[in-house]
């Protein structure tokens, strides 16, 4: 019984230690968006509420909106609502850049890249 407990403890500890720290994305991000409905250059202001929970604002061709999101390691998910459409950005953060795919509700799909402004 002790051996089983020890093995489970070691596996659990290894899983915790192997987790990648969450990317830090606080700040202003300038995006380049290419979609089936057109292109744009929105700006996100992002802030960590917790280590993995984000909030912020979107300003771009779709107007202004409050943003909610999550960060898990380098994987980022941002979403906001515009005219009853849920807008979703899913991507990967690498230092001061990010890239990924987006869905503009039922309106369009596309890709994005972004660069964090230096303070």
SS3 58: strand
* pTM as predicted: 0.83
Q: Which residues, in sequence order, are bridge partners of residue 50?
A: none
What structural domains and CATH numbers belong to the chain? 21-116 (2.40.128.120)
What parts of the chain have a pLDDT lower than 70? 1-19
Res 11: pLDDT = 54
- Within 8 A by CB and 6+ apart from 28, the residues are 43, 44, 45, 116, 117
Res 17: pLDDT = 40
């Amino acid at each position: 019984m002790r051996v089983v407990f020890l093995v489970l403890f070691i596996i659990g500890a290894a899983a915790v230690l192997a987790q990648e720290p969450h990317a830090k994305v606080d700040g202003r991000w300038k995006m380049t968006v290419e979609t089936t409905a057109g292109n744009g250059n929105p700006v996100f202001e992002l802030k960590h509420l917790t280590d993995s929970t984000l909030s912020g604002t979107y300003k771009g061709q779709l107007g202004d909106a409050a943003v909610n999101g999550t960060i898990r390691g380098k994987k980022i998910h941002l979403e906001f609502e515009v005219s009853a459409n849920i807008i979703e950005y899913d991507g990967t953060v690498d230092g001061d850049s990010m890239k990924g795919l987006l869905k503009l509700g039922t309106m369009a799909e596309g890709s994005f890249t972004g660069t964090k402004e230096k303070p």
